[in-house]
Amino acid sequence: MNVYELFSVAGRTAVITGGSGVLCGTMARALAAAGCKVAILGRTQAKVGQMVDRIKGEGGEAIGVTANVLDEEGIKAARDQVMAAFGRVDILVNGAGGNKAEAITTKDQTFFDLDLQALKDILDLNLLGTVIPTRIFGAEMAKQGSGAVVNISSAASFRPMTRVMPYAAAKAAINNFTQWMAVYMAQEFSPGIRVNAIAPGFFIADQNRDLVIKPNGEYTERGQLIVDHTPMGRFGEAEELVGALIWLASDASRFVTGTVVVVDGGFQAYPGV
Ligand SMILES: NC(=O)c1ccc[n+]([C@@H]2O[C@H](COP(=O)([O-])OP(=O)(O)OC[C@H]3O[C@@H](n4cnc5c(N)ncnc54)[C@H](O)[C@@H]3O)[C@@H](O)[C@H]2O)c1
């Protein structure tokens, strides 16, 4: 048995939504470093272009596609670009997601007066923003009879965090969708198409920086609470998601589908006592 071969993703093609962001940019760079041809799918052409240049600068093969994960026609056009460049889609990482201030409860902005549109936006971005690319790129996997989808969930999906109701609800729905889609692909198309998720614990990124870090670099009260409730006593580093990603994307996990892999420094295991 060649163990390195089991984990190999060399020569495969990958689409990474949110691939110019903090966590998924690192995932995209890792897949490229492992020999994948990667398509960075993001909303902002300039940010997508920067990530493509960075990957090429590191010796990888990458293209950029600009699209909004909530725009079905835009994602179809992105699929056409990816198919023209690579001819197939072996790996889809559904990383686009996040939160915004208008959808977070505070003393001044209670659940009862949260802006309904902001609430819907966050439900849509995180849930439909995963479902729509899975429909469009997953249809290619269905034709191929093979593929690996990796959704990006959150620690907030198991027990909702305070303040982030729509985000937590949407991430919980991603776990449910991951299971549904895993069963659907295996039963209706091919057991060679697998659908799993990674639930990161706490990593500092653009979407949560202001919630956890003060301008002077110290933790906010919430940041300190997170570290205190993480047995490893720190935030995660984006590279620490790469092992789970490569495992889920490669044949090393070929009998694994419908799972949510937790990468959280022990947060989920620790009741605080
Ligand atoms: N940072 C954390 O601690 C943490 C924890 C758990 C889960 N996550 C999840 O990880 C994923 C990556 O987040 P991150 O922390 O790297 O944040 P990030 O903001 O750096 O990355 C998110 C990316 O998604 C893109 N995006 C947002 N809306 C989009 C849209 N409509 N269409 C296309 N692209 C869009 C953004 O432009 C950005 O590049 C998200 O799904 C997030 O919810 C993050």
pLDDT per residue as tens digits for the range 105-124: 999 999 999 999 999 999 99
% the chain with pLDDT above 70 = 100
Domain boundaries, the chain: 3-201+236-262
Instruction: State in Å: Cα 3 to ligand 1 middle.
Output: 32
User: What is the Å distance from ligand 1's center to 15 Cα?
Assistant: 15
pLDDT in tens, 188-206: 999 999 999 999 999 988 7
pTM for this model (two decimals): 0.97
Residue with the two structure tokens 């991430």: 171
In the three-class reduction of DSSP (H, G, I as helix; E, B as strand; rest coil), residue 109 is classed as coil
- Give the pLDDT band (50/70/90) at residue 210: confident
- Mean pLDDT, residues 54-80: 98
Q: How far is CA 158 from CA 44, 56, 252, 271, in A?
A: 31, 37, 26, 13
Q: Find the 21 Cα to ligand 1 centroid distance in Å.
A: 6
Confidence of residue 207 (pLDDT cuts 50, 70, 90): confident
Is 268 close to ligand 1, i.e. is its CB under 6 Å away? Answer: no
- Tell me whether residue 167 is one of the annotated catalytic residues: yes
Does ligand 1 have an atom closer than 6 angstroms to the CB of 18?
Answer: yes
Tell me, using a 6 A CB cutoff, whether residue 21 lines ligand 1. yes
Q: For residue 15, what pLDDT is reported?
A: 99
The answer to whether the CB of 155 falls within 8 A of the CB of 229 is no
What fold is seen in the domain 3-201+236-262?
A: Rossmann fold (3.40.50)
Q: In testing the pocket of ligand 1, which one of 92, 207, 230, 245 has its CB within 8 Å of the most ligand atoms? A: 207
